[in-house]
């Protein structure tokens, strides 16, 4: 190729950044999106605080930090326990109130520990579910209460007698109590079915704040317990079976039986297997191969070399029509024929040739013999 044609044959887009950008456009777009997503994630991460509903440290709409702060300012000693162990350390007893939020995360074992660790204390459970009610020996499920409108106390409890609450959603607890049964007190246990009156967002509606403070501020000390799933042990909590409809398990049995019938249906053959009286299969080359393996196992290079040489001699003899000539004559004629020295051909071909000292030598001897044969055939 001449120098003048070389630049012309180069692809036009090979140099220059624009060409590179065009070729990697898709990759660049993907990379930009990934960077953007990473940036957004980093920026928003800092804004995440405590988001657990009704948590005393949650300053969001559904948090309860306002109530906790006010209680602390009013002189109540507010402690937060975030695990069963912390609750046990808090040592709640007589003269202490324990409020339980995130009650969904309580299981059988944590309820037992809760009962043991708060013996003598006043216990307020916020928004318990049906399973927890059963564990607390108040079986039943929360009924519905119309939210949105103020609810009169409607009970003769002196603490709440003149108050009204107003929340978006509420649920009636089993038993009878105040505020359309959303606040039921039996002995030391109080069930609160209108948890939203504790939230920062709704605490200022109607008399929510007063109800919250009167409910939680009766004692000098308040332990705010936020249970965690991590404290559950073994087969605690809710089993899968209790959540499924009753017919599912027998249905699985029916499916299994149908599967068994399917196997029996497809597995039954229409008559016995057709059998073939097979003939003897012997590969004709088998014995030769085994002989080769035998040579190899015994490592008899001398014998293998002698055999290869003899075979080549026989073929060359036939090729050059030398009949039953002496070996020296053969070597001389072959050397003259292919233009090599007599000593070289004698060493390669003769029965007195060198015995290969290693496997590598044997392989090269075999190939040299084949090459010699080819030379004789060509010339």
Partner 1 sequence: MAITGRVPLLVLLGLVAVVLRPGAGTVWLWLLLVLLLGLADWLLAPRPAALTFVRRPVGTVRQGHPAQAVLVVANPTGRTMRGVVRDAWQPTAGATGDRHRLRLGPGDRAALVTRLQPVRRGELRALGVTVRLPGPLGLVARQRTVDVAGSVRSLPPFDSRKHLPSRLARLRDLDGRAAVRVRGQGTEFDSLREYVRGDDVRSIDWRASARTSNVVVRTWQPERDRRVVLVLDTSRTSAGRVDDVPRLDSAMDAALLLAALAARAGDRVDFVAGDRRVRSRLRSAGVRQVSADLQDAMAELEPVIAEADWDALAGAVQGFGRQRALVVLLTPLEPSAVEEGLLPVLPVLTRHHRVVLASVRDPALDRLATTRTTLEEVYDAAAAEHAGQRRRRTADLLTRLGVDVVDAEADRLPPALADHYLSLKARGLL
Cβ distance to partner 1 smaller for residue 288 or 341: 288
Maximal CA-CA distance, the chain: 137
Sequence-distant contacts of 210-215: CB under 8 A, at least 24 apart: 210/163, 211/160, 211/163, 211/165, 211/179, 211/183, 212/67, 213/67, 213/70, 213/71, 213/74, 214/159, 214/160, 214/163, 215/124, 215/159, 215/183, 215/190
Q: How far is the CB of 271 from partner 1 (least distance, A)?
A: 3
Cβ distance to partner 1 smaller for residue 187 or 246: 246
Are the C-beta atoms of residues 322 and 335 closer than 8 Å to each other? no
Q: How far is the CB of 307 from partner 1 (least distance, A)?
A: 5
Read off the DSSP letter of residue 203: T
Which among 158, 107, 157 has a CA at the least distance from the CA of 129?
107
Cβ distance to partner 1 smaller for residue 27 or 264: 264
Q: How far is the CB of 354 from partner 1 (least distance, A)?
A: 16
Q: How far is the CB of 357 from partner 1 (least distance, A)?
A: 14
Are the C-beta atoms of residues 121 and 93 closer than 8 Å to each other? yes
Q: How far is the CB of 93 from partner 1 (least distance, A)?
A: 47
How far lies 150's CA from each of 194, 205, 311, in Å? 12, 9, 114
Cβ distance to partner 1 smaller for residue 11 or 267: 267
Q: How far is the CB of 256 from partner 1 (least distance, A)?
A: 9
Cβ distance to partner 1 smaller for residue 45 or 268: 268
Q: Which two tokens stand for residue 5?
A: 């044609």
Cβ distance to partner 1 smaller for residue 144 or 307: 307
3-state SS class at 190: strand
Q: How far is the CB of 189 from partner 1 (least distance, A)?
A: 35
Cβ distance to partner 1 smaller for residue 13 or 261: 261
Instruction: Give the β-pairing of 122-126 and 189-192.
Output: parallel
d(CA 333, CA 324): 13
Q: How far is the CB of 329 from partner 1 (least distance, A)?
A: 21
DSSP 73-92: HTT-EEEEE-SHHHHHHHT-
The phi and psi torsions of 54 (rounded to 5 degrees) equal 60, 20
Cβ distance to partner 1 smaller for residue 239 or 265: 265
Cβ distance to partner 1 smaller for residue 34 or 260: 260
d(CA 222, CA 64): 14
Q: How far is the CB of 289 from partner 1 (least distance, A)?
A: 6
The residues that touch partner 1, with contacts defined as CB under 8 A, are 245-247, 250-251, 253-255, 257-259, 261-262, 264-265, 268, 270-272, 274-277, 279-289, 291-296, 303-305, 307-308, 310-311, 314, 359, 362-363, 366-367, 370
């Amino acid at each position: 190729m001449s120098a003048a044609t070389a630049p012309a044959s180069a692809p036009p887009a090979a140099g220059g950044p624009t060409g590179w950008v065009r070729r990697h456009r898709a990759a660049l777009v993907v990379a930009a999106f990934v960077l953007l997503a990473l940036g957004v994630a980093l920026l928003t991460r800092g804004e995440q605080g405590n988001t657990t509903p009704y948590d005393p440290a949650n300053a969001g709409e559904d948090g309860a930090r306002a109530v906790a702060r006010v209680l602390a300012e009013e002189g109540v000693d507010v402690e937060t326990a975030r695990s069963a162990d912390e609750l046990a350390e808090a040592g709640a007893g007589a003269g202490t109130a324990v409020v339980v939020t995130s009650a969904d995360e309580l299981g059988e074992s944590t309820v037992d520990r809760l009962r043991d660790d708060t013996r003598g204390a006043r216990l307020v459970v916020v928004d318990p579910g049906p399973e927890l009610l059963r564990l607390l020996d108040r079986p039943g499920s929360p009924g519905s209460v119309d939210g949105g409108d103020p609810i009169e106390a409607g009970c003769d409890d002196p603490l709440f007698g003149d108050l009204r609450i107003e929340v978006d959603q509420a649920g009636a607890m089993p038993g009878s109590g105040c505020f359309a049964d959303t606040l039921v007190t039996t002995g030391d246990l109080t069930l609160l079915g209108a948890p939203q009156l504790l939230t920062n967002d709704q605490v200022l509606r109607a008399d929510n704040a007063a109800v919250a403070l009167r409910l939680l501020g009766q004692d000098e000390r308040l332990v705010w317990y936020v249970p965690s799933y991590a404290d559950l042990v073994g087969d605690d909590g809710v089993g899968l079976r209790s959540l499924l409809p009753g017919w599912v398990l027998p249905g699985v049995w029916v499916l299994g039986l149908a599967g068994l019938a399917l196997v029996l249906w497809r597995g039954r053959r229409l008559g016995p297997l057709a059998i073939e009286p097979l003939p003897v299969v012997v590969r004709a080359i088998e014995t030769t191969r085994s002989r080769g393996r035998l040579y190899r196992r015994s490592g008899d290079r001398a014998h293998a070399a002698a055999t290869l040489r003899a075979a080549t001699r026989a073929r060359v003899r036939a090729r050059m029509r030398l009949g039953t000539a002496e070996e020296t004559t053969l070597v001389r004629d072959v050397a003259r024929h292919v233009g090599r020295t007599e000593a070289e051909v004698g060493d390669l071909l003769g029965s007195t040739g060198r015995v290969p000292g290693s496997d590598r030598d044997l392989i090269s001897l075999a190939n040299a013999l084949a090459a010699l044969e080819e030379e004789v055939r060509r010339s």
